[in-house]
A and B are shown apart, each in its own frame.
Chain A
Amino acid sequence: MPQMTIVQAINDALRTEMRRDPTVIVMGEDVGVNGGVFRATENLIKEFGPDRSIDTPLAESGIVGTAIGMALNGLKPVAEIQFDGFMPPAFDHIISHAARIRWRTRGRYYVPLVVRAPYSGGIRSPEHHAESPEAYYAHTPGLKVVIPSNPYDAKGLLLAAIRDPDPVIYLEPKRLYRAFRQEVPEGDYLVPLGKAHSAREGSDVTLIAWGAMMPAALSAAEKIASQDISVEVIDLRTLIPLDSETVLESVKKTGRLVILHEAPKTCGFGSELAALVNDRAFEHLKAPIVRVTGPDTTIPLARLEDYYLPDVGRCVLGIQRVLSY
């Protein structure tokens, strides 16, 4: 089996699906000739030509707005927004249209659209290039939100996202794009949306993370294992629809929950996980839920970035806190 990085796995997923289904197209800024600023669409223009690997003008509202029109008229666009920080100009089309069309037309029209965006921090990027905006989309009914954390999942989830009949926001942890390689099967396979992955079994504490926080979560679990503490690590993979079963089962078992995310804390997705557990597993809780998150500030530039992003140490502290109760 070939070894791939996440960005190669994404490229492979796009190629696989474009070969299989002639209605799949990719579009966005610099995705054609240049192969995408991160090379996620590398060589697609060679194989599929400029009609299916489209260099668009520089306009995010235009990209998502026209992609919606294409999806209405029989294509399956995979639109790339070049960086997380440039999703806001497309916000209107994502939440006022893509998210609503099936509902407002009573199923007469729907939008099989994937909006891909390199996501979150850790690569020393300029401003507006390190955002974690998943909560905006998780709060919007009608969208699915998917965030892979490894090459295998990245490919399988992206294939599932493209085949999904509803709009999917597919956020790619750019810090992990080339961080490591993994065996990725050739050809077609799916990782179903809406299913979390139990990345490590444990019994004392449940630790939930996604995207680029997964390596920190796993390291923290490993580190604290030496103190005889058994941490169950769940990689959510899909935020919406949320795999509440996996989450609740684990919390009922451990009675303790730590949530790890990069986004600002207030109204972040961690709040929903905490509320879910409050609703359904309240009596199982042995300690207040701990959220280890980015602070409620804008993410700083390179020299302070490491202090903003939750790391292994903060994660270990969170685990200790939930245990000390």
Chain B
Amino acid sequence: MAKSLKTKPRKTATVTSLDIEMLQILNLDGTAQQDEARELGLTNDDIESLYRWMVTARIFDERALALQRQGRLGTYAPLSGQEACQAGSAYALRPEDWIFPSYREHLAQVMRGQRWLDILTYWGGSEEGNRVPEGVNNFTISIPIATQTLHAVGAAWAAKIKGETSCAIVYFGDGATSEGDFHEALNFAGVFQTPTVFFCQNNQYAISVPRTKQTASETIAQKAIAYGIEGVQVDGNDVFAVYKATKEALEKGRNGGGPTLIEAVTYRLSHHTTADDWTRYRPAEEVEMWKQRDPIKRLKLYLERQGLWNADDEAKLLEEAKSEIAQTVAQYENLPKRDVEDIFKYIYAEMPWNLREQLQELKEYLAEHGGDLPKE
């Protein structure tokens, strides 16, 4: 033993050097690395469309928060500040690709074919909000942190086994990187070279716990290296950079190049959920500082600089978006009353005897009280 300790350590591997560079295309003032912006292949219409999505999401978010405060919606997880992450990545996907969202990806879900109404329905406390339209490859959101990373690896893996070229992108936060499932997912994806894009929205906090207390790594992107896969860091408030990184990762995945871990550096501008109060754990100056980096503001400056956008366009968009969301809220508030059978349906493809009897038991009870629960 002692002897072997004395022998000179033998070099067994050279690990990729750890220079992590943050990809950024759009500057804070709306200027851009012009050639990179052009190389993205986005038309002016595409860029405008991204902007519309982001603004609509912000309006939805504010409206949902207000509804919750008025007792008209259940607990809600706001996305403000993370619009570029979601818009940029979702825009890069093809319809046949899969997304595995966590609970904050309302914008990505809607861009991919769910409705704002579905989001409200869900957070209003109805499983119906999880009924993703047929033909839309969105998996339902996942509440247990990090678990969806494995589902995404499985779905991408299935595509590979079936000889399809679709990819799966999975969204999760910086906190999720602490869970064992994150490790298992990266490891499986690396070993089987599944076309999975791990999209981490590093919004700096997992509820109250800051990123520096989740991991001693300086970046999340660097964690990829240990799994033998590529890791990149992007400015998550720069929709162009997000789009580029995601698109490249997807193309690589489609062409058999395996998985990618993308760390999008961003910030949650609002509370973790409506049950949270951010003033307990972060200084107001920090939030102010990040407001200066607001992804929507940045893209607007860009559009204005390019002469693609003016005050009239803005006013018109705001009006349109507000009215769209107002209509959604009206629909949400007029959702039909639910049938108690909803509790029992879908536990299995066929209802077994115990559930049929328990449903009957509940119906009889309600019938004894004029069709609903007795008032206490």
Contact = CB atoms under 8 A, between A and B. Distances in A.
Interface of A: 23, 25, 51-52, 56-57, 59, 61-62, 65-75, 77, 89, 92-93, 96-97, 101-110, 141-142, 144, 164-166, 194, 240-242, 244
Contacts of A101: 140
A110 to B, nearest CB: 7
Contacts of A52: 161
Given A106-B127, A166-B349, A241-B353, A65 B147 contact: yes
A62 B184 contact: yes
Given A70-B155, A142-B347, 7 more contacts: A68-B151, A69-B156, A96-B144, A109-B132, A109-B140, A110-B349, A241-B354
A165 B347 CA distance: 11
Contacts of B151: 65-66, 68-69, 72, 97
A62 B187 contact: yes
B59 interface: no
Interface string B120-144: 0000000110111010000110101
B127 A104 contact: yes
B188 A68 contact: no
A72 B349 contact: no
A107 B156 contact: no
Given A70-B154, A73-B159, A65 B131 contact: no
B181 interface: yes
Nearest to B349: A165
A109 B139 contact: yes
A15 to B, nearest CB: 18
B158 interface: yes
Given A65-B184, A104-B130, A105-B131, A144 B154 contact: no
B150 A74 contact: no
B188 A59 contact: yes
A97 B187 CA distance: 21
A96 B147 contact: yes
Given A57-B191, A61-B180, A61-B181, A73 B155 contact: yes
A235 to B, nearest CB: 19
Given A104-B130, A105-B131, A61 B347 contact: no
B286 to A, nearest CB: 33
Contacts of B353: 241, 244
Contact of B154 (A59, A73, A110, A240): A73
B188 A66 contact: yes
Contacts of A97: 142, 144, 147, 151
B150 A93 contact: yes
Interface in B93-130: 98, 100, 127-128, 130
A107 B159 contact: no
B181 A65 contact: yes
Contact of A61 (B162, B184, B348): B184
Majority-rule SS of B interface residues: helix
B71 interface: no
Contact of A106 (B130, B181, B185): B130
Given A59-B184, A62-B184, A107 B346 contact: yes
B157 A108 contact: no
Most buried by B among A61, A73, A96, A108: A73
B169 interface: no
B139 A72 contact: yes
B209 to A, nearest CB: 21
B98 A108 contact: no
Contacts of A67: 154
Given A57-B187, A102-B346, A62 B150 contact: yes
Contacts of B307: none
Contacts of A57: 184, 187-188, 191
B154 A68 contact: yes
B360 to A, nearest CB: 14
Given A59-B188, A69-B150, A51 B349 contact: no
B321 interface: no
A92 B147 contact: yes
A67 B352 CA distance: 25
Nearest to A67: B154
Nearest to A25: B161
Contact of B150 (A68, A73, A241): A68
Contact of B132 (A23, A69, A105, A166): A105
A106 B128 contact: yes
A106 B130 CA distance: 7
A139 to B, nearest CB: 12
B152 interface: yes
B157 A66 contact: yes
A180 B175 CA distance: 51
Contacts of A240: 352
- 8 closest Cβ pairs, A-B complex: A69-B154, A65-B150, A66-B154, A62-B184, A241-B352, A73-B158, A69-B151, A69-B155
Interface string B52-66: 000000000000000
B199 to A, nearest CB: 16
